[in-house]
Amino acid sequence: MARCFRSLLIAITSLWMLSSVLIRSSDAAGIATYWGQHTDEGSLEDACRRNTYDYVNLAFLINYGGGQTPELNLAGHCEPSDCSSLSSEIKACQSRGTQVLLSLGGAPNLSSADDAKEVASYLYNNFLGGKSENRPLGDAVLDGIDFHIQAGKRDFLDDLAKALSEYSTSERRVHLSAAPQCFYPDYYLDAAIRTGLFDYVWVQFYNNPPCQYSMGNANNLFYSWSSHWASYPGVNKLFLGLPASPEAAPSGGYIPPRVLIREILPYVRGYPNYGGVMLWNAFYDENYSQAIRPYINPETLACDRKSMLKSPSNCDIKIKSYVTK
């Protein structure tokens, strides 16, 4: 009996890993997270080795616009002026099919459309496909820029998105993502998202009581998702942003994995621009991403132990009986 169970687990793991590779080579839904805001979260490469993330946002770049000197704030993982030690880790993540983006946090201070273009030029030459004598992350070329802005000036962020998108070429696309609050419309990112230039929009359904899951009730979340964000102009791939543990969001919004799998995902997956789930953040994600990973994509089918033993290749990795949390 034990030997059969062990064989079953090996088959499940093999199919799960194969599915992860296939998912990342297609346009299927995925999981995003943020890394860089806790000294005890492990290395960037450690996060990617979990093989559960399709997108990792390096958090954060602060102090940009208005003549400020941009600075990396990765919570002690490296010196702000020189994080080139992360270059090899970024490349290792990308080799696994994980996109790595730089997240803009802090308080932007853009003063004009021209200022936005200057910031875009800085970002391109120092973190993306351009050239600079002093690239803070070394020679690694990031996949794009994430807008995670909750303070400062909201002016000209749409111009910044437009300027960044102009650096995309047929050989290398500059991906753009945004993390608005679920409260509609987002004060800072509304105009930027409406440009339609953002590949991914991971809406923060946490720390926002009017539009988040609370006390076993998903009505506010469902209403916000269906009535606002699923039809939001400019949203290409829409992600459900959630805390990876109750501690990750002091003001609430945490959804136990089994509730997410049984009640929430079947609902949000029904929308054509559904893109997956974003988890805040890598430090708090002890096993949340592993638990939900097989259920992120609507095209995969649930199966039970008997079906797996009979025909593993047709079962497609979704074993709901193993989700216990």
CA-angle at 283, arms to 267 and 253, nearest 5° = 35
Residue 1 located in a structural domain: no
Query: What pLDDT score does 298 carry?
Result: 64
The residue range of the domain holding 275 is 30-301
The rounded percent of the chain whose pLDDT value lies above 90 is 81
Residue 211 located in a structural domain: yes
Hey, which residues does 280 pair with through a beta bridge?
243
Residue 318 has pLDDT above 60, yes or no: no
Q: Sign (positive/negative) of CA torsion 204, 206, 209, 212? A: positive
**pLDDT, mean of residues 10-33:** 59
Residue 14 located in a structural domain: no
Q: Give dist(CA 198, CA 236) in Å, integer.
A: 7
**pLDDT, mean of residues 101-127:** 97
Say how far residue 53 (Cα) sits from the centre of its chain.
Answer: 8
Hey, which residues does 6 pair with through a beta bridge?
none
With beta carbons less than 8 A apart as the criterion, state whether 299 and 318 touch. Answer: no
- pLDDT class of 204 with cuts at 50, 70, 90: very high
Mean pLDDT of the chain: 88
Residue 287 has pLDDT above 60, yes or no: yes
With beta carbons less than 8 A apart as the criterion, state whether 20 and 300 touch. Answer: no
Say how far residue 149 (Cα) sits from the centre of its chain.
Answer: 15
Residue 325 located in a structural domain: no
Phi-psi bin for 65: left (phi > 0), alpha (psi -120 to 50), beta? left
Residue 64 located in a structural domain: yes
3-class SS of residue 46 = helix
Q: Give dist(CA 125, CA 133) in Å, integer.
A: 9
Q: What is the pLDDT of residues 123-155, one digit of tens each?
A: 999 999 999 999 999 999 999 999 999 999 999
Q: What is the pLDDT of residues 32-65, one digit of tens each?
A: 999 999 999 999 999 999 999 999 999 999 999 9
Structure tokens at 304: 């039970």
* Strand ranges inside 105-153, DSSP E: 144-147
Query: What pLDDT score does 300 carry?
Result: 52
Q: Give dist(CA 87, CA 141) in Å, integer.
A: 8
Structure tokens at 76: 């002690």
Lowest mean pLDDT among 14-18, 139-143, 161-165, 308-312: 308-312
Q: Give dist(CA 279, CA 244) in Å, integer.
A: 5
Q: How many domains does the chain have?
A: 1
Residue 158 located in a structural domain: yes
- pLDDT class of 323 with cuts at 50, 70, 90: very low
Instruction: Give the CATH number, domain containing residue 212.
Output: 3.20.20.80
Residue 21 has pLDDT above 90, yes or no: no
Query: What pLDDT score does 299 carry?
Result: 61
Query: What pLDDT score does 105 carry?
Result: 97
Residue 8 located in a structural domain: no
Say how far residue 175 (Cα) sits from the centre of its chain.
Answer: 12
Among 159, 153, 224, CA closest to 187: 153
With beta carbons less than 8 A apart as the criterion, state whether 196 and 236 touch. Answer: yes
With beta carbons less than 8 A apart as the criterion, state whether 206 and 251 touch. Answer: yes
Residue 243 located in a structural domain: yes
The per-residue DSSP string of 198-252 comes to -SEEEEE-SS-GGGS-BTTB-HHHHHIIIIIGGG-TT-SEEEEEEESSGGG-TT-
